[in-house]
Amino acid sequence: MSRKEMILAAFFYNPQGDHRLSWRHPNAPGQEIFDLAYYQKLVAEAERAKIDAVFIADHLGIWDNFESGVAHYANTRLEPITLVSALAAVTKHIGFMVTASTSYSEPYNIARTFASLDHISHGRIGWNVVTSALTEEARNFGLDGNIAHATRYDRAREFLDITKALWDSWEDGAVVIDKNTGYFADPQKVHYLNHQGDHFRVKGPLNVPRSPQGHPVIVQAGSSDAGKALAVAHADIQFAVIRSEQDGIAYRADMNERLARQGRSPDSFRLLPGILPVVASSQDEALDKQAALEALMIDRVSVDLLSSWAGVDLSAFPLDGPIPTLPDLESYDGWRTWLKLIQTESNKGLSIRQLARKIANTGSVPMVAGTARQIADQMEAWFVAGAADGFNLMFPLLPDDWVNFMRQVVPELQRRGLFRIEYDFGTLRDRLGLARPRNSFLA
């Protein structure tokens, strides 16, 4: 890759941090997670550090397939699109990658929302496209259980085809506002989709003009085969679960081949592995911090989480006994990334209790813990080796780990010439080195 500087996205789903019970930490926020001011401070820290974007994950329900979720899990939060629009109004440079589901929304509504956000933010918006893998989500939208994995991805692909066409339905320059002639728009530059597909029928055009980025940046996070196919067809950025430098190099090579088959250059695509950065004055102190978070885990929650992700009710088995047979990955309609990780770990002779605590505590991506210099070393190694174009930073504890990273690791990366020291003018796409998409209605 020719990029000299890495891309950094600062992630959260739980506003208390990515560790599943981080909300119990003495330094974690309390009721202020329902107040804009909390996020405004966090984002201001990231903007001072010249971070590319804040990345907000989402689910359309609470985690309650197993009873402990309601009592012990931090299940309530603000809705990300409203949150990001408010944050866009009080920031100038930082981008936002916001999650929305193709399974439980309509393309016209999503196209409109993101086009509008892109105008409001002057081109700082990305859409993290998800297909929603939780049965808890399905049950809030008229279903008994998940839509089949293949159907979800098929719908997602059609959804993105439509959304992009809606974003193109007013060409750049279509809105002329000629007060003398009475032409608000040039009708030659306004296009109809008349889309009729397996999942949707949409006439168009959109009622928002083409936005500063043409299309908001498209992010995709599923690394199943269907997920990779969707990414290659539609995404600018993939947020991936990568566990080592070698993994990352292999993953990137695979993606490059897939991109080539689609006629896309590797440079049209950015790979952002997730990492859990924990900054401390020494590696020991970093491990102590992690141990303090792990101590907050509740056995019941860890087993229920494992059950939920594995698609098997493990509470029916002895806690200190072996892991029972798990579902087949290829026919699993749940969250495959988690099942795959659990399958890998389940071959190591751990009991249900041990595996549950391990899985529940470590999260899906590798922890990178140590001094600012040690963390920068590891990030540099992955970046230089071509295992990553940058990172999605999934801090175990907020706001502490976030603030520490911004104040300690970012300056170290800047000293090494690996990260910008000032924002350039332009959109999020410009910053990421991604071309503004051509309009699909133009030959």
Binding-site sequence positions for FMN:
58, 99, 149, 153, 223-224
Question: Which of 12, 55, 66, 73 is in the footprint of its own copies by CB under 8 A?
Answer: 73
Question: Which of 42, 43, 88, 379 is in the footprint of its own copies by CB under 8 A?
Answer: 88
Question: Which of 65, 99, 102, 113 is in the footprint of its own copies by CB under 8 A?
Answer: 113
Interface with its own copies by CB under 8 A: which range of 34-42, 236-244, 367-375, 408-416?
A: 34-42
Annotated binding residues: 58, 99, 149, 153, 223-224
List Cα–Cα distances, 440 to 172, 340, 399, in angstroms: 12, 37, 42
Other beta carbons less than 10 A from residue 242's beta carbon: 24
Largest CA distance in the chain: 80
* Per rule CB under 8 A, count of chain residues that contact its own copies: 77
Pairwise CA distance, residues 136 & 166, whole Å: 30
Question: Which of 3, 116, 377, 437 is in the footprint of its own copies by CB under 8 A?
Answer: 116
CB of 28 vs its own copies, minimal distance in Å: 7
Pairwise CA distance, residues 351 & 97, whole Å: 38
Q: Does 287 bind its own copies (CB under 8 A)?
A: no
Question: Which of 5, 17, 19, 23 is in the footprint of its own copies by CB under 8 A?
Answer: 23
Interface with its own copies by CB under 8 A: which range of 48-56, 185-193, 384-392, 407-415?
A: 185-193
CB of 86 vs its own copies, minimal distance in Å: 4
Residues 263-282 that bind its own copies (CB under 8 A): none
Q: Which of 233, 232, 234 is nearest to 251 (CA)?
A: 232
DSSP letters spanning 210-228? PBTTBSPEEEE---SHHHH
Nearer to its own copies, 140 or 351 (CB): 140
Pairwise CA distance, residues 214 & 169, whole Å: 11
Cβ burial, residue 368 (10 Å; 0-12/13-18/19+): buried
Question: Which of 74, 130, 293, 305 is in the footprint of its own copies by CB under 8 A?
Answer: 74
Nearer to its own copies, 1 or 175 (CB): 175
The answer to whether the beta carbons of residues 94 and 51 sit under 8 Å apart is: yes
Residues 198-257 that bind its own copies (CB under 8 A): 200-209
Q: Which of 90, 93, 1 is nearest to 49 (CA)?
A: 93
Please tell me whether residue 324 adopts helix, strand or coil conformation.
coil
Q: Does 4 bind its own copies (CB under 8 A)?
A: no
Nearer to its own copies, 180 or 331 (CB): 180
Question: Which of 90, 148, 150, 291 is in the footprint of its own copies by CB under 8 A?
Answer: 90
Q: Which of 442, 441, 420, 440 is nearest to 431 (CA)?
A: 420
Specify which residues 240 forms β-bridges with.
Answer: 273
Please tell me whether residue 284 adopts helix, strand or coil conformation.
helix
Residues 126-165 that bind its own copies (CB under 8 A): 136, 139-143
CB of 11 vs its own copies, minimal distance in Å: 18
List Cα–Cα distances, 100 to 90, 131, 161, 245, 263, in angstroms: 22, 8, 15, 30, 27
Pairwise CA distance, residues 63 & 231, whole Å: 27
Interface with its own copies by CB under 8 A: which range of 17-25, 280-288, 343-351, 367-375?
A: 17-25
CB of 58 vs its own copies, minimal distance in Å: 9
- Residues in contact with its own copies, shown as a per-residue x/- string from 50 to 69 under the rule CB under 8 A: ---------xxxx----x--
Look-up of token digits 């030959």: 443
Q: Does 1 bind its own copies (CB under 8 A)?
A: no
Nearer to its own copies, 66 or 251 (CB): 66
Residues 351-390 that bind its own copies (CB under 8 A): none
DSSP letters spanning 15-82? TT-SSTTGGGSTTS--GGGGSHHHHHHHHHHHHHTT-SEEEE---SS---SSTHHHHHS------HHH
CB of 3 vs its own copies, minimal distance in Å: 31
List Cα–Cα distances, 203 to 158, 243, 429, in angstroms: 14, 44, 28
Question: Which of 48, 70, 254, 322 is in the footprint of its own copies by CB under 8 A?
Answer: 70
Residues 91-110 that bind its own copies (CB under 8 A): 104-106, 108-109
Nearer to its own copies, 35 or 284 (CB): 35
Pairwise CA distance, residues 134 & 421, whole Å: 40
Nearer to its own copies, 223 or 302 (CB): 302
